[in-house]
Chains A and B, each alone.
Chain A
Amino acid sequence: AQKITQTQPGMFVQEKEAVTLDCTYDTSDPSYGLFWYKQPSSGEMIFLIYQGSYDQQNATEGRYSLNFQKARKSANLVISASQLGDSAMYFCAMEASGSARQLTFGSGTQLTVLP
Chain B
Amino acid sequence: DGGITQSPKYLFRKEGQNVTLSCEQNLNHDAMYWYRQDPGQGLRLIYYSQIVNDFQKGDIAEGYSVSREKKESFPLTVTSAQKNPTAFYLCASSPRTGNTEAFFGQGTRLTVV
Q: Do A and B bind each other?
A: no
